[in-house]
Structure formats: structure tokens, C-alpha cells
Structure 1
Amino acid sequence: MYVPPDPDPTVKPLVFLGAEMRKRRIRANLTQDRLARTIQFSQSLVGFIERGERTPSQNFMQRYDDALNAGGELVRLWAHLTRGASPRWFRNWLEVEHEAHTLHSWEPLVVPGLLQTDAYARVVIRGEPGLTEEQVETAVQARMERQKILTQSTPPMLWVVLDEGVLHRPIGGNKTMHRQLERLLEADESPRVSIQIVPLTLGATTGTSGGFIIAQLPGDGDTVYIESATHGHVTNRLEDVEAIRARYDKIRADAHPQHVSIQLIREAQTSWI
């Protein structure tokens, strides 16, 4: 089993990744120019990434890995390092999410991370004060990597409840919002994804205080992730889980049925053209 090398904590993750890529390329006796032509990316981009000055996409990493016959090692290292871009308190949740057979999500403000497009995610993440563009791009890649649980051989059931305001909040402009709502419609085509909308006409609801996710794990009790302004809270404490479960049940009872919710998403999408 491949174990990614532990990066030097004094070296930025992208610099460490680039150095490992360069070592593998040199060991394969390939010049940057030849490799760039093989993977059909520019030599300048290869150089930027090997110097740790750009964040590689998953597509770039897969082509780079294939060209060097690395057997997926570089892709796994990339995933390991971009996952490390997540705050330490959130990494515990990623483990829970990966093992869950069912996820119940409530979001009153934005589309949940598991269903965000990269453009939408980029705007949301940029809202965090003090992040550099490099940190933003690394976080976006980590979020896209996280979404792979929905395309694995046995994905979890995902039950999403959104406030109707999410469909009309201008995040990233018309093009970004149109594509994001299209992404929701695409996701709902899966038999393992359900999306419901809580109508704005309800006014204040049980869920206006913040979003959360409930994870159901095989052979174990539920674990919840509760959002806050500074950092999330992950717990399987029975009292907390029961309180969140009761809140979720009330929110979902207030939501439109799925077919009505999907029609609302379609109507909202047309307003973002």
C-alpha cells in the first residue's frame, strides 16, 4: 500500500509536491518540454507547478502521473496534500464523511460543499479573510476532491435541505449561479441524492441559526458537524446528536416535496441567465 511521504513542515505543500514531481520526472529521464508535449499542457505550466507556484488540477496530475508510469502515487500525494489544506478540526469530519452510509445536510445560506461547482466554491472560500490566492486554489481543489465520495462504487445516500434564499443569493454572478443550480439539478438525477427546498414564505425557521450535517455510520451511532463563524464542531455526543436530529426533522417537515423543490430550482436557474 502506498504511503505518501511526510512533507517537511517548513516547506509549503505545493513546493513539496512540485519537488516530488520533478524528482520523478528526472528519474524517468524526461525533460520538461518532452513531458509537457506528452501530457498536452504548456511547458511553462509544468515549470510553475514543479516550482510550487501553481496548484495543479486533478486532470493535470493524472496525466503527469500516467506519463511517468507512477501508478497513481503522484495523484495520491496530490490528494493527500490538498486534503491537508483543510483545517485540522475539519479533517476529523472528512474521515466520518468517508465512512458514512447516509448524510443529512441542512444549509440556510449557501450550497453545501459536496454539491458546489469549483467556480461557486472559489467565491465562497475567497470570503474567508486573509487567504492568499494560492490558499484559495488549494482549498478549492480539496473541496472538489472531497466530492469524490459521491462517485465512488458505493456512494452514501445524500439528503440535502436548502433554504430557498440559497437559490437567489448572488454568489459569483449570473454565470456562476446558473451553472451551480444546473449542478443541483444534475445531482438530483441520482437515486442516491435528494434535494428539498424550505420556502422563503416561512420566514424564520428552526434552521436559521446555522447549517449542519448528520452522518450515519454502519454499526455505530450518528455523528454531527455543526457550522459556526470561526470553526465547525464535530461530535457524536448523544445529547448533541439528538438535538440536531430533532432540528433536522422539523426543518425537513417544513420543506417542499422533492418534485416541487426541483421545479423551484429550475425556475431560479432561469433568472440567472
Structure 2
Amino acid sequence: MAEVPTLEFLRDQLRRARKTRGLSQEELGRLLNYSASSVSAMEIGPHQLSADYLARFDKVLETGGLFVGLLELIRQQAEPDWFRPWGEIEREAVALRWYDPAVVPGLLQTEAYARAMLQAGPPLAEAQIEKRVLARMARQEILAREEPPQLVAVLDEQVLRRQVGDRATMHGQVEHLRGLADHSHVQVRIVPAETPWYGGLAGPFVLARLAEGTEVAHLDNQLRGHTVDGPNDLASLGRRWETVAGEALPRRQSARLIEEVAKSWI
């Protein structure tokens, strides 16, 4: 089996392709409408490789989609085997209802928050962490496409207040959630901390609706996640969703609470 390219390999090939064309970082940046410092960051790191940057690179240097293809291959291999079926469903969904009592959902995480989460989890090599961060950020592209899914995320207030990474990471993450309030296709609603025990605290879940009306759910545990589509399971999770959504503050009140918590992380 052919070896999957690494991020280091991809960055090295970006440098080689630029130098082969006789371009400096400043010259390439002008062609791509990126700063020279951004070109350097793409070639050396530590910032994430941008799909937009690679698409422009392929077009301007006429590389036939090579670099976008390499990035997609790395992303696919970074995802755990058990996640890939759900990844396909997530990309095809027209609506997502996501509840999490413990962490910010992957589709709403900042790069820094995602990296801090992975670094705090089971031991992974730094290169593997970077690949998984890359894959997680790539998933978020569905929210920026022309016809994005409608996403409603219900989070427990403790998610906003439990520190992941340093304080700057938390401030950036909560500010990011606040900014999402400007998007009509994304709702973030918060269950206040003073809410007594409610059924949703038993664990996170996601309900996805596909274009033809089919509904599928995803559940996570300590080892892996799994997809469920049995009518009884879906009905049970639907009732659970009604419970957690009923406990959550309305959209505008949630936005005010998120803004308040963001200030506490400064």
C-alpha cells in the first residue's frame, strides 16, 4: 500500500514548486492575494494549511489540483476509521441538531481549542495531532458553503467555563461562538449552570437529517463513536433532544450569556 503523504511533505512540495517557478514568497503572495508572511506560514508552519490557499496555488501555478488533492488525502487518513461513515453523513446533511454537555462541538471549535483538546487526550504524536486538527477544521467547511446545513447546537454552560488550553484559547473559542450568532444557519443555545440535573447530561449526541428526509444519529463514548439509524433509537434521541432544547435559553439570551462568559476569559 502506498504511504500517505504527511503535512511536512506537502509543505516541502509547496516550497519546491514555488522555487521551481523562480518566485519569491513576496511574488507568490501577490499572485495569490496572500501576504508573504502567510506564504511562509503555509510552507513552514505552524499554522494550518488552508484549502483556499492551495486552490489558488493550484490555479496560479497550473498544478492541476495536485495540492488540493494531497490535502484531501491527508485529511481522510487523519480521521479514525470509525468516524468516516459519519463524516460522509455530516457532509450530506441538510440539518444537524447537536447536544454536548462537556465540550464545544467539533464543527464549532477553533483551531487552538481543537489542538488543546487533542493534546489533553490519549497520547498522540505531534504530527498525528496536527493531522487531526487539520481534519477537524476541514469538516467546518460545510458551514461556509453556498447551501450550508442548518445547525442547532445546545451546550451546557459548563462547556463555556471549563478551561481547555490556556485562557487565551478559551477567550478565542467563546468569542468564536458569539460570532456565530451573526449566521442565520447556526444557532448556539446554552443550558444555564443553575439548571438541575436533566436527562441530556448522560452524554452527547447528534441528529442529522438528509435531503430525502432520512434521519441518522451519532453517539460518542470513551473509545469511539458510532452511528445509529434504528427507529426506536432515533425516537428515543428525538425525545432526549426535546428535553435538552427545552432546558436551553432562547437564542438571544444564549448570545448574551456567551458574551458575558467571553469577557470572563480576558
Task: Settle same-fold status: TM greater than 0.5.
Answer: yes
Provide structure 2 residue ranges, at least 5 long, that are not aligned to the other structure. 30-35
**What SS does the aligned partner of 1:170 have?**
coil
**Aligned position for 1:126:** 119
Kindly state the Cα deviation for residue 131 of structure 1 after the two structures are TM-superposed: 0.7
Find the aligned partners of 1:247 and 1:108 in 2 and give their Cα distance: 13
Residue 149 of structure 2 is aligned to residue 156 of structure 1: yes
Percent identical among aligned pairs is: 35
Question: 1:149-191: per-residue Cα shift (whole Å, max 9, x none)?
Answer: 0010100000010001011011122211111111111112111
Question: 1:61-108: per-residue Cα shift (whole Å, max 9, x none)?
Answer: 345424422243421331232132011111111110111110000010
Given the superposition, is the C-alpha separation of residues 183 and 15 from structure 1 closer, same or farther in structure 2, using an over 3 Å criterion? closer
Contact 2:156 2:193 in 1 (8 A): yes
Contact 2:113 2:165 in 1 (8 A): yes
CA RMSD of aligned residues (A): 2.8
Find the aligned partners of 2:158 and 2:41 in 1 and give their Cα distance: 40
**Aligned position for 1:4:** none
**Aligned position for 2:33:** none
**What SS does the aligned partner of 2:203 have?**
coil
Residue 235 of structure 2 is aligned to residue 246 of structure 1: no
Task: Specify which of 145, 164, 167 is matched with residue 174 of structure 1.
Answer: 167
Given the superposition, is the C-alpha separation of residues 46 and 269 from structure 1 closer, same or farther in structure 2, using an over 3 Å criterion? closer
**How do 1:34-113 residues align onto structure 2 when only pairs under 5 Å count?**
34=23, 36-37=25-26, 38-39=28-29, 40=36, 56-58=49-51, 61-62=54-55, 64-113=57-106
**Aligned position for 2:192:** 199
Question: 1:13-35: per-residue Cα shift (whole Å, max 9, x none)?
Answer: 44664687688x39x9536xx36
Q: How many residues align?
A: 259
Write the letter of the residue equivalent to 2:152.
W
Kindly state the Cα deviation for residue 11 of structure 1 after the two structures are TM-superposed: 4.7
**Aligned position for 1:5:** none
Question: 1:218-267: per-residue Cα shift (whole Å, max 9, x none)?
Answer: 21421001011110011212121111111111111111111111111011
Q: TM-score if structure 1 supplies the norm length?
A: 0.84
**What SS does the aligned partner of 1:84 have?**
helix
Find the aligned partners of 1:54 and 1:166 in 2 and give their Cα distance: 25
Task: Specify which of 198, 222, 225 is matched with residue 229 of structure 1.
Answer: 222
Write the letter of the residue equivalent to 1:30.
R
Find the aligned partners of 1:153 and 1:45 in 2 and give their Cα distance: 28
Find the aligned partners of 1:120 and 1:55 in 2 and give their Cα distance: 13
Write the letter of the residue equivalent to 1:185.
R
**What SS does the aligned partner of 2:199 have?**
coil
